[in-house]
A and B are shown apart, each in its own frame.
Chain A
């Protein structure tokens, strides 16, 4: 754990993850989808996790929620939510935490809503389960919530079925399900990926406003750097199950220190600068059933050196800014020059 994480632990951290490891036993071996992640989210802070698909960011989110259902999955390490050790809780205790203190917005509003129940009921059941509300009270509260989600005509939408709503409206319902009980931490896993481009910005703004209004902390997961930039204060860059760089959004966007982060930026296009060419990262991420023992990005890295065969520790790149790359090791640089 870095010094900064420890200082966060002393006061304001809502979520603190230490050495989180999630693995799946498959026929071809044990896949370590999340492999030793340290991460924290302060109160009212908006933190992003960025990485390409398959890097373990969704598994990380589901591990925090303890929603991984795959038989033979193992989660170790520590996940503390406001002082509560989530991985140590019994399942029925965790049931009381989910939805009430930490809740999640999922990627696909088409599949994460139950097709046979009215959307209002799908929000209200959370209120009934956690706040012990009567059905009538929960309905009133749900109506107010639908208005807060900027859904048109809440009085008719509350009785609609998911298939009667548009993708953007459904995603608002999913958001409503998550924030109904005002959790301290909201985890949003690719909340706009399945939506039309026109609705994406709207949905992101809504999430940002709700997080601010309700005083929640946000952990936003995305493969899209611009989504993270629009909403987050700090960002963690994930590669092959590990955090390779973390720091304030402005710092990283100003000049990433880890070659993978730089490559990610190079691989994005922007409408504002259409003439800029984007570069492709050569190769593919390592097989997480047998990852390389040293730096996991080394085989694709343009700056590869001999030391990369050893796993790099996090090096400080600035205040609150770490990168796991030997390039940042000044003593090594010096010794190499000698």
Chain B
């Protein structure tokens, strides 16, 4: 297992470097001149040239790339033009809000999704199963920015059950009251993000559970006289989780991308909102920094997925 882990870690290094190079090139490919935005439209040509020189943007591309690589590797993701702060400190400021939202929606979508998936696989032709199937199809197909706005309209604007936007109320709160306030703000964005993932997991788990329940070792588990609860949740689910874990890892990247829209709709002060604002302001260092940061997060997530995969399936661990 440790050998396997070592090799996976080693593989992650060139991947990470590649991502950084790609980020650099992508930003240079983007239309629009950052100097024009930074200096303002009415600035003089001399000022723009000076700025270009100061920022090193007059150097040939390879030189810029090497400088960029060097600074990223030393932890310097750049300096935000629009927010006048280092990108790294911006990312670290916004990270907790995003992690909170992500944790809440993963908890909700994985636990509920797995449970619904198992139930509908075990009893496929009941009313509850059919409702869950239609519901998951809906959750799977509704775009999150639209769903978010509808939730805001119904539960915040009409019913006043939940706040409109933000992560905290304007009043200063401390201790338990503060966290209760955050939780209250958390409900709608969590539901919005979870709808897709919940549906995804419910459908995935149902499909792989139905397959697992058809296996011969389920017959022998029942033949041992194990109660169906153990047959389903121990023998079948453990096998059914393998494909689910794979998709989970692959989907984390897409999920992070979805945060850009959902955080914007809900005014959630996280990384997604930061990215959106940076794109609007053409704040290239922030966009680039976010790119690198999110890519590394995805690489890390995939690494964790592989480790998890090995933990579930011994055949992979010892291969």
Instruction: Give the interface of A toward B (CB within 8 A).
Output: 62, 65, 67, 69, 91-92, 95-100, 103-104, 106, 108, 111-117, 125-126, 129-130, 161, 163-164, 174, 177-178, 181
Contacts and interface: CB of A to CB of B under 8 A. Distances in A.
Given A111-B215, A161-B314, A116 B224 contact: no
Contact residues on B (Cβ < 8 Å of other chain), bracket? 20 to 34
B313 A177 contact: no
Given A114-B239, A116-B315, 10 more contacts: A67-B222, A95-B226, A99-B224, A111-B217, A113-B220, A116-B314, A125-B224, A125-B226, A126-B224, A163-B314
Contact of A65 (B223, B239, B312): B223
Nearest to B214: A69
A129 B221 contact: no
B94 interface: no
Contacts of B238: 114, 116-117
B46 interface: no
Nearest to A118: B314
B318 interface: yes
A112 B225 contact: no
Given A98-B224, A99-B224, A100-B225, A106 B219 contact: yes
A126 B225 contact: yes
Given A106-B220, A114-B239, A98 B315 contact: no
B216 interface: yes
Contacts of B314: 115-116, 161, 163
B8 interface: no
A129 B220 contact: no
Contacts of A130: 225
Interface string B219-236: 111111111101000010
B239 A116 contact: yes
A108 B216 CA distance: 9
A113 B230 CA distance: 15
A114 B221 contact: yes
A29 B43 CA distance: 86
A115 B217 CA distance: 9
Given A92-B227, A113-B217, A116-B239, A161 B315 contact: yes
B286 to A, nearest CB: 44
* Nearest 6 pairs of A and B residues by beta carbon: A99-B225, A111-B216, A98-B225, A99-B224, A114-B217, A112-B220
Nearest to A123: B224
Q: Is the interface of B mostly helix, strand, loop or mixed?
A: helix
Contact of B219 (A67, A95, A163): A67
Interface core residue of B220, B238, B313 (most chain A CB under 10 Å): B220
Nearest to B236: A114
19 contacts: A62-B219, A67-B222, A91-B228, A92-B227, A95-B225, A95-B226, A95-B227, A98-B222, A99-B224, A104-B223, A112-B220, A113-B217, A113-B220, A114-B235, A116-B314, A117-B238, A126-B224, A163-B314, A174-B220
A11 B226 CA distance: 31
A115 B224 contact: no
Contacts of B223: 65, 67, 98-99, 103-104, 106, 178
Contacts of A95: 222, 225-228
B227 A112 contact: no
Nearest to B217: A114
A126 B224 CA distance: 6
Contact of A69 (B217, B219, B312): B219
Contact of A103 (B224, B226, B315, B318): B224
Contact of B312 (A114, A116, A163): A116
Nearest to B317: A161
A115 B239 contact: yes
B229 to A, nearest CB: 10
A161 B314 CA distance: 7
A174 B238 CA distance: 20
Contacts of A67: 219, 222-223
Nearest to A101: B225
B48 to A, nearest CB: 63
Contacts of A108: 216
Contacts of B220: 104, 106, 112-114, 174, 177
Nearest to A187: B223
Interface core residue of A99, A104, A116 (most chain B CB under 10 Å): A116
Contacts of A163: 314-315, 318
A129 B225 contact: yes
Contacts of A174: 220
A189 B239 CA distance: 25
B192 to A, nearest CB: 35
Contact of B217 (A92, A103, A112): A112
B315 A115 contact: yes
Contacts of A103: 223-224
Interface core residue of B215, B216, B223 (most chain A CB under 10 Å): B223
A129 B315 contact: no
Contacts of B215: 111
A201 B303 CA distance: 47
A97 B228 CA distance: 14
Interface in B186-218: 215-217
A164 B315 CA distance: 9
A112 B239 contact: no
Contact of A164 (B235, B313, B318): B318
Nearest to B238: A116
A150 B217 CA distance: 23
Nearest to B221: A114
Contacts of B318: 161, 163-164
A163 B314 CA distance: 9
A209 B314 CA distance: 33
A116 B312 CA distance: 7
Nearest to B125: A71
A331 B93 CA distance: 100
Nearest to B313: A116
Nearest to A116: B238
